[in-house]
Each structure stands twice: as C-alpha cells, then as structure tokens.
Amino acid sequence: MGTLVQVRDVPEAVHRKLKARAADRGTSLSEYLRQELERIVESPTPQELRERLAQRAPVHLSETPAEAIRAIREHGE
C-alpha cells in the first residue's frame, strides 16, 4: 500500500477541473491524481538535467559551427 498524501486549500474551480479530467479518463479523482504524480516524477527536473550534463564528458569540436556552415555552403556537404 502507498503513502497517503493530502492537499489542503485546493480552489473549488481546480477541484472541478480535476474531477472532470478524471471522469474523461474513466477513473476516480484519486487514480487520476496518482497517475499525474507518477508522470511528474518520471520527467527530470532542470536541476537533474544539469547534473546529468555535468557528468558527461565535454565535446571538443574540430571546427567552429561557423566554419562547418561555411564548408557546407562552399562544398555542398
């Protein structure tokens, strides 16, 4: 069994929209919110992305982007 999460002071308009979206999916509000929370945590945060990038080896280019574009324009490659 999972952990109980309670959210207080949800505006009535937000609650109505969430219930409508859950109904559109044919699920309960609890199931809809559980699915949305799972979707949220599956996507990395900006901080997590920065940490991943910091762990990668740096890329060293043999030419600048401007040089590469110039070569493509001159040689058609």
Q: How many domains does the chain have?
A: 1
Within a domain: 3: no
Model pLDDT for residues 9-65, shown as the tens digit of each residue: 999 999 999 999 999 999 999 999 999 999 999 999 999 999 999 999 998 989 999
Residue 44's domain comprises 12-75
pLDDT at position 2 over 90:
no
Tokens 């937000």 belong to 14
Q: Are 74 and 66 in contact (CB under 8 A)?
A: no
Within a domain: 4: no
The number of beta carbons lying within 10 Å of the beta carbon of residue 22 is 18
pLDDT at position 7 over 90:
yes
Within a domain: 6: no
Whole-number pLDDT of residue 27: 98
Distance, CA of 67 to CA of 69 (rounded, Å): 5
Asked whether the whole model's pTM tops 0.75, one would answer: no
